[in-house]
Structure 1
Amino acid sequence: MYQDGRARGAAHKSARARGGKFNLNVAMLLGGAAIAGSGHAQAEEATPGTDWQKRLSEISSGDALRMDTFVTQVAQSGGVVEFNIPAQPLGQALIAFSEATGIAVIADAALIADLNSAPLSGALAPDQALAALLAGTGLAYRQTADNTVTLERSTAANGELAPLSVEDSAEAAPPLSEGYQPLRIGSNKYTQPLLDTPQTIVVVPQKVLKDRGQSSLRDAIKNVPGVTVASGEGGTRGNTFRIRGFEANRSDNSVDGLRDNTSSSFRDVYNIEQIEVTKGPSSVTAGRGSISGGINQVTKTPGLESFYAGSAQVGTDDTRRVTIDVNQVAPEEYAEGMAFRVNGVWHHNEVAERDVTESNRWGFAPSLAIGLGTPLEVTLGYEHFEASSVPDYGIPTKASNNIDNDFDRNNFYHIADVATEDTNSDIITARAKWEADDWLTFNNILRVQWDDFYGIAGHVRTDSSGVTFPTVNVNHGLRTYDNFTINNQTTATAEFTTTEYIDHALVLGIDYSLEQRDTKTYSSVASNTDFFDPDPDRDLADASAPASQIGYQGDTVAVYGFETMNLLDTVELSGGVRYEMFDASQTTHTVSTGATTHFEQSDNMLSWKAGINYKPVPYGSIYAAYGTSFTPLAADVAITSDGAGADPEESVSYEIGTKWNLFEERLMLSAALFRTDRDGVRQNRGTAAEPDYVLLGKQRVEGVELGVAGNITDEWAVFAGYTYMQDKILEEGPTAATDGATFRNVPKHSMSFWTTYALPWDVDLGAGVTYMSSRRYRFGNQSESKIDDYILVDAMATYHLTENIDIQVNVNNIFNEFYIEQVGGGFQTPGPGRTALLTTSFQF
């Protein structure tokens, strides 16, 4: 697996030279041709024949250590290389040049198709050799990066060739994904590629989001079966998710591996590289909570390739959207490895088949990196994001039966001029990466974040609050919060060997976080309306009477370690342990009584995981894993007065699975069997003899996961998954009648399938199907408390107008299916009806 004890992870890293890095095999495509150096020290006669492009596939990536030696030798000899290239088609000659120098030559196929080169022999500098090969062709070269040149027609402006040097070049970080195929996790806590990670982690790459026309986190999660959306119940939490049947706390959402307490309802993906959904207990990596997994969003950062990209979108339901993504590499004279990137978005949409509801958001995220590709990299970033929406709290459900389908699906039960959810976020992020040696790397990420929220919305009910069907009771409550968060994560990664047969990847780290929140609630004001004919313009009494003010602070310090041992490149043993110290305090002032209460909660939690991975072949793995999680009472930035002092809940997970990279390792297939047991579920007993909350309940979810992601052929890409879940309350449910019953909002079957095919006329076609079986919206086995299953069909067509401009059409929910997307306690929120989007995007 590794070259030697000081050059770790050769399967995942390019060769390293003392004092820098060398990009071993640059492979780029521009109009059909790319000539990449493979690292041979002396040019040999190119393969005879006229099909020189075929030769590209025959070029070996070369031996990493040999290439390092070669580069050093060239530098020591003053940049002179021995050439022996006969006269031949220019494409073949350039291949031989690249093999001799390690310099990638980028050329348009049409530009060099009919050209021949003169013979070349002797000891020459690379720039002299390339000039000789291009003599008489009318072409010149332009150095576009270290060890990379681009050919173009000669003009007076570039007729004088600049010296071309062979030197250690800045090495870009390995990609997170290639097209639809995920390759690795963004967090430094994971040292192995996704193939060798013994856990189900579903990664949604940016390419999938673009092709499906998905612009929010809530949309993106539709690609992940086994995850359902729950409504926020009119509070400041926004929507929440259930992962493998268990509710994920707001604190189970993270950005770049750091806890993110903002509402997922408002998240836009304009600044997101990929979305990672971890399945199974994950406290050992993510911290407290994470009963059955978590969601991590990896943000965009500057890179070593300049580009200018953006999009403009219009659609049905007054959809309008504009994005920009610009990455500019600075000249070397300013600073080595400096690049600047800025992302921005402006978005507005209403919702198909839903009255009044709309979403507005805008944001921009500039970032600056220095030292990219050097041993010390520093990146500074800032993001400002605002979202304003008219929330949709859906359709009230009767306590006695299912949703009555004899109504208009457009009905809006709140008051149009009152219902609102507004949020603002300002985020500063500083990252540093220091490669102290070939085997030792330090990483630090610090984030400071300010968020505020203002919302007026609430429960939509019937058969409650003294009203009877078809009268609907709507509570309108004003809630605000101001949130301040500091997160810091420091890790040290060491890759070394202890014997000839055992390689190690060790991560040690420490996390710190400070979370402060001031929340104000106001007295709820009820307004009634008719279930079948609601009036969104009715009057409402003043809803601004203060009710309470709550101040919360949580402090977390955690230390952890992860180890992966590779035995003979066949067996990998992995494990991790985390010890977390969590202290929370909350002060609540009740306006009506003038009373002030104070609660404190302290928990020390030890979580761990272990796994074994067997690799019968390099592109396949079979694994078994075990993990634990702990969820303290105050995990979700709040302490309930009747729960203070309760111990953390615990969950354990068992998983066996397999992963395979097939079709030249471009398509990942995965399968897993899992079981998650949640033990010590807090239950409200409410008796004088014992605390209001005690740890009594036991719950279980077990099932099967299947996944496929990547390319079957160059033209055909697939991203799909299926999850089967069997959930059960083992004992001590909310009531005795629910023992042995099922949870709410847990479908037995869920599936997401998306595929695209590139036709030979610059056209890509895509289609997808999403299926979710029936779910209960209450605990128990009451047949009347079910939500119907549904099937959604989407389609896409993209026309590549030029190499740089695409025109894309998406139609989602083609058959205008009525379905419930979000499940609440007494109300359910329908998903959008048929939606059409037209997007023009560019990248230069």
Structure 2
Amino acid sequence: MKRNTRKMTGSKRGRGTISCGRGWIAAGTLAAYAAIGGTKVAMASVERAGPAADGAAEATLPLKKFDIAAGPLDVAVKAYEKATGLTVKIVLPAGTVAGFNSPGVVGLFREDEALRQLLDGTGLNYRVEDAATMLVGVQSKDTVSVTEAITDAVALSKFTEPLLDTPQSITVVPQFVMKDEAVTTLRDALRNVPGISLAAGEAGAQGDNLTIRGFTARNDIFLDGIRDFGSYYRDSFNYEQVEALEGPAGVQFGRGSTGGVINQESKVPSVQKFLNVQTLFGTDKTRRITGDVNLPALHVVGGTSFRVNAMGQESGVAGRDYAEIRRFGVASSVSIGFNTKTRATLSYFHISESDTPDYGLPWFFNGVAPGSIRHNYYGLPDENYLKTNDDILTLKAEHEFSPNLNLHTIARAANYPRQAQITEPQICSNAPLSVPVGGFVTSLPTSAVNTALPCAFTASSDPSTIVVNRNQIQTKSVEGDLWDQTEVTARFQTFGIRHALVAGVEGGQEISNPIRSSYAINKINTVPSTMLDDPNAQQPFSGTGYISSIVHTKSESVGVYFVDTIKLGRLFEATGGVRWDRFDTGYNLWQPTPPAGGIVTAPVAPISRVDEQPTYRAAFVYKPSARGSVYFDYGTSFNPAAESLSLSVGLANSSAAPEENETYEVGAKWSFLNERLMTEGAWFRTEKDNARETDPTNSNNIVAAGNQLVKGVQFSVVGRLPQGMDIVAGYAYLDSAVIYSKFFPTAVGFPLANVPKQTFNLFVTHKLPWRLNGGLGGNYVGARTASSTVPYIPTSYSGPISYIGPNGAPAVHYEVLATEIKQVPGYWIFNAMLKRPLTERFELQANVNNILNRYYIDLPHPSHLVPGAGASALIGVNFKF
């Protein structure tokens, strides 16, 4: 289990203390050798070696078993030489090497990774002298970058190869990027990934909502490799890194994953003792503190370590009066067996939130409502709330039968309670269809306040006269998850061909029990409305609320999969994988008797649906150099009818077959500057067949008949360069379109919802005079439509026209005179950072976000629009002990 082992043994590099017996010798050595070529000796990166003699395994790819205990460095180096067959030259005065202690290294590592672990905390580093020799010397603080190398692997054991040789677009957002940008949420971390766009939460499911390569990925967010099903806003305080795996992912992750998946990799205990505290203060009443404590006890139970991360935050949102964020979290974990063949980590994660939520601004026909409304709040802050209280318990265990055979399992119990009452501002009803100029509609848009009346406002209406409906979204629910995933990782040879096999089985149950309410009586919202240009947030709340539905959904699923990577000599690799899933969902719905005139929801007797589906994966990698690869990747995935644990009579019937997805990808990856700069680019094509559509005239008539297509290119760069220069950049071009629709034929050829044609991100940091380090970057997101089925809407109509209807009776309809694309415009925003160390343990950092105070829509939804935060400034103090 390469990745998890590596995580538990720690990967952070920095200055350690020298054992007191020879501390004065080591200190003198550091000073003396900084002047004799320390620059070259201390290079923090290693060139990849070529293949070993006699056709032995390549030095860059195979993992080797290391079991080197903590202790004197000279003893550790001898053990390393024995394990690798390499020679290690130490450029230090005779006898002084014994003044250094090594933390040791236990587990499966590449040779260069293992040596980096042995030197962790000593102040020493290494470089490759030749194919069989490593040169170890002193870091020269003034001339050598001592920052960590860029991440070269996905933490999940499902992926056996380094990123450079993994045939898929994978963007890892590491900790150093999130720290420089003062990232506090998953959403903000993902702004560093090309091809991902963010959207507002759905009406009955708040929390993170995103689109990956053109397809919704709300249910494709994972935590340590297991689906993180809850509807909540995810905080970054316990992230080791965030991994965006775009392209084929169905074999590894199961249902969904049309455009890819997001994996949040949690912090776990390590062998180093440390205490890190970060504080953040700023505009909009921002107050945030995080703490990270790691306490190793390496002589207990074969090597034990405890780690606790905690977070507390209170803040507003720049430019959005009344919106407030109040969040608290704690993540505790204990790992045992560092120095044994059986290792385990038990972790508990809790996060609670009590926000005053903001559903932003109303649509007005095809765009944002007019007027100076950027800062307007249409909710009722004394009555609006969003409360989550999530608990996640996870056990990870692994056993190493041999250096080439590992068994690992992860089990989880998660509980996601949620309560919300949020005001959604509305002016007119949404158009049910896109009707072209010259077409006819049988009715005009209705008022959102009273859906029995036509909308009284047009594009020429004075904004001061426009009335805004306060639609109340009230829900209470508990989502839950019981899951287990067990995998075996094996490396072996057949007929001289090397294999890296991952095979696994996973399964469990997920539940969702939402209770939804309504405030509409006789089609009229009983909650008072307000004015567009001058909303009264202090208006007393009133209205007749009642339960509109009580739902219980339970899904039981199981998946079996394997992925095999074979090494066809030094230049070629081939990967193949198959998965089979069974997804069994039961659903029922009922409603207590509503008040007179209230919405009556027809009860749904218990219904069920079972979807069984295979998925496939095939890839081929050509490695013209140890520093680069070119690949072809093909994969399938599927979306079952009850994918989001929501079902109906229409979805349960046999015609709503799973949506089927097929992806092709061709790409290349290359590393430069001794693996400190990773670049990758890809062309891809994803087609969805059997896209589900709901009949606009009958919500129970749902068919699987549509076809959607997204194709495009994307590029990304991540680097940690000398002189404190870090860079993360990405660009994606997405060409999306509806290519067939049964119920919405006029949508054919128009882009899919929330898919900008172009996205771009950049953030660069560099050393400045006076020990300062500065960063500057920005994001561009192109225009996005609100709906895949109704991409454009009528904006002008004729008067009523009489005609004889199909049944021979007189009727009235209206001719469409003008239409507009219903979309939000693209935008640029820019951010900056400045930090300076005060001592080796204290650092000041300042961040300014949205420097130009741009007004833009960040999170679109078909029924409301959430603007991005205005200009804000944050100042933080970071403590390291």
SS of the aligned residue for 1:459 comes to strand
Residues 1:780 and 2:791 aligned together: yes
| 1:156-175 map, 5 Å | none
Could you tell me which of 188, 208, 228 is aligned with 2:177?
208
Could you tell me which of 399, 407, 431 is aligned with 1:442?
407
Paired with 2:761 and 2:479, the residues of 1 have a C-alpha distance of 35
Who is 1:89 aligned against? Answer: none
SS of the aligned residue for 1:441 comes to strand
CA 1:619–1:736 in structure 2 vs 1: closer, same or farther (change >3 Å)? same
Is contact 1:325–1:341 with CA below 8 Å preserved after alignment? yes
Residues 1:647 and 2:657 aligned together: yes
SS of the aligned residue for 2:161 comes to coil
Residues 1:684 and 2:669 aligned together: no
Question: Comparing 304-313 with 588-597, which one deviates more in the overlay?
Answer: 588-597
Residues 1:56 and 2:56 aligned together: no
Paired with 1:199 and 1:145, the residues of 2 have a C-alpha distance of 33
CA 1:382–1:303 in structure 2 vs 1: closer, same or farther (change >3 Å)? same
**Offset at residue 682 of structure 1 (A):** 1.2
Is contact 2:184–2:237 with CA below 8 Å preserved after alignment? yes
Could you tell me which of 743, 752, 767 is aligned with 1:758?
767
Is contact 1:804–1:843 with CA below 8 Å preserved after alignment? yes
Paired with 1:551 and 1:56, the residues of 2 have a C-alpha distance of 64
Paired with 1:22 and 1:215, the residues of 2 have a C-alpha distance of 26
**Offset at residue 373 of structure 1 (A):** 4.2
Amino acid at match of 2:505: I
Paired with 1:329 and 1:767, the residues of 2 have a C-alpha distance of 37
Residues 1:181 and 2:150 aligned together: yes
Amino acid at match of 2:278: S
Could you tell me which of 309, 326, 329 is aligned with 1:360?
326
Question: Comparing 579-588 with 372-381, which one deviates more in the overlay?
Answer: 372-381
CA 1:718–1:598 in structure 2 vs 1: closer, same or farther (change >3 Å)? same
Is contact 2:379–2:424 with CA below 8 Å preserved after alignment? no
Paired with 1:188 and 1:148, the residues of 2 have a C-alpha distance of 25
Paired with 1:591 and 1:700, the residues of 2 have a C-alpha distance of 43
Who is 2:220 aligned against? Answer: 252
Amino acid at match of 1:610: A
Determine which structure has greater relative contact order: mean sequence separation of CA pairs < 8 Å that are 6+ residues apart, divided by chain length: 2
Residues 1:504 and 2:470 aligned together: no
| 1:206-605 map, 5 Å | 206-249=175-218, 251-264=219-232, 266-332=233-299, 334-399=300-365, 401-463=366-428, 464-465=447-448, 466=450, 468-469=456-457, 470-500=466-496, 502-525=497-520, 526=525, 527-542=528-543, 544-592=545-593, 595=603, 597-605=605-613
Deviation digits for residues 260-284 of structure 1, max 9, x if unmatched? 11125x2101011111112124221
Deviation digits for residues 280-337 of structure 1, max 9, x if unmatched? 24221111111211211111110111111111110100001000001111141x2222
SS of the aligned residue for 2:729 comes to strand
Could you tell me which of 626, 636, 651 is aligned with 2:644?
636
CA 1:676–1:179 in structure 2 vs 1: closer, same or farther (change >3 Å)? farther
Could you tell me which of 608, 622, 630 is aligned with 2:616?
608
SS of the aligned residue for 1:664 comes to coil
Could you tell me which of 669, 682, 704 is aligned with 1:659?
669
| 1:24-35 map, 5 Å | 29=15
Amino acid at match of 1:53: G
Paired with 1:149 and 1:562, the residues of 2 have a C-alpha distance of 34
**Offset at residue 446 of structure 1 (A):** 0.5
**Offset at residue 354 of structure 1 (A):** 0.7
CA 1:640–1:459 in structure 2 vs 1: closer, same or farther (change >3 Å)? farther
Gaps of 5+ in 1: 1-7, 15-20, 34-46, 80-93, 104-112, 121-128, 135-139, 153-176
Amino acid at match of 1:358: E
Who is 2:741 aligned against? Answer: 732
Question: Comparing 402-411 with 563-572, which one deviates more in the overlay?
Answer: 402-411
Deviation digits for residues 189-215 of structure 1, max 9, x if unmatched? 111111111111221111111100110
Is contact 1:382–1:426 with CA below 8 Å preserved after alignment? yes
Question: Comparing 545-554 with 731-740, which one deviates more in the overlay?
Answer: 731-740
CA 1:69–1:683 in structure 2 vs 1: closer, same or farther (change >3 Å)? closer
SS of the aligned residue for 1:238 comes to coil
Is contact 1:228–1:745 with CA below 8 Å preserved after alignment? yes
Paired with 2:617 and 2:762, the residues of 1 have a C-alpha distance of 31
Amino acid at match of 2:317: V
Gaps of 5+ in 2: 20-31, 82-90, 106-117, 124-145, 429-446, 458-465, 594-599, 793-818
Paired with 1:71 and 1:311, the residues of 2 have a C-alpha distance of 35
**Offset at residue 459 of structure 1 (A):** 3.1
Paired with 1:642 and 1:371, the residues of 2 have a C-alpha distance of 52
Paired with 1:69 and 1:547, the residues of 2 have a C-alpha distance of 60
Question: Comparing 735-744 with 386-395, which one deviates more in the overlay?
Answer: 735-744
Is contact 1:478–1:544 with CA below 8 Å preserved after alignment? no
Amino acid at match of 2:833: M
The percent identity for this pair of structures is 32
Amino acid at match of 1:571: F
**Offset at residue 663 of structure 1 (A):** 1.0
CA 1:654–1:259 in structure 2 vs 1: closer, same or farther (change >3 Å)? same
Paired with 2:73 and 2:226, the residues of 1 have a C-alpha distance of 46
CA 1:97–1:447 in structure 2 vs 1: closer, same or farther (change >3 Å)? closer
Who is 1:802 aligned against? Answer: 839
Amino acid at match of 1:792: I
Paired with 1:775 and 1:149, the residues of 2 have a C-alpha distance of 47
Deviation digits for residues 39-58 of structure 1, max 9, x if unmatched? xxxxxxxx999616357349
CA 1:193–1:48 in structure 2 vs 1: closer, same or farther (change >3 Å)? closer
Deviation digits for residues 7-40 of structure 1, max 9, x if unmatched? x99x9999xxxxxx999x998545999xxxxxxx
Residues 1:620 and 2:620 aligned together: no
Question: Comparing 798-807 with 608-617, which one deviates more in the overlay?
Answer: 798-807
Amino acid at match of 2:782: S
Deviation digits for residues 152-208 of structure 1, max 9, x if unmatched? 9xxxxxxxxxxxxxxxxxxxxxxxx98573311121111111111111122111111
TM-score when scaled to structure 1? Answer: 0.81
Amino acid at match of 1:788: P
Paired with 1:742 and 1:69, the residues of 2 have a C-alpha distance of 49
Who is 2:859 aligned against? Answer: 822
Is contact 1:289–1:630 with CA below 8 Å preserved after alignment? yes
CA 1:693–1:178 in structure 2 vs 1: closer, same or farther (change >3 Å)? farther
**Offset at residue 96 of structure 1 (A):** 8.9
**Offset at residue 742 of structure 1 (A):** 1.8
Paired with 1:298 and 1:726, the residues of 2 have a C-alpha distance of 31
SS of the aligned residue for 1:493 comes to strand
Is contact 2:739–2:749 with CA below 8 Å preserved after alignment? yes
**Offset at residue 582 of structure 1 (A):** 0.7
Is contact 2:76–2:102 with CA below 8 Å preserved after alignment? no
Deviation digits for residues 639-681 of structure 1, max 9, x if unmatched? 1232212210011111101000111111111111111111111
Paired with 2:65 and 2:860, the residues of 1 have a C-alpha distance of 62
Who is 1:195 aligned against? Answer: 164
Is contact 2:255–2:640 with CA below 8 Å preserved after alignment? yes
Who is 2:678 aligned against? Answer: 668
Paired with 2:716 and 2:34, the residues of 1 have a C-alpha distance of 43
Paired with 2:575 and 2:481, the residues of 1 have a C-alpha distance of 32
Deviation digits for residues 780-807 of structure 1, max 9, x if unmatched? 3554423222111100011011122211
Amino acid at match of 2:399: W
**What RMSD over aligned residues (CA atoms) do the two structures have, in Å?**
3.6
Deviation digits for residues 522-567 of structure 1, max 9, x if unmatched? 2235331111111112233245422221111000111000010111
Is contact 1:183–1:193 with CA below 8 Å preserved after alignment? yes
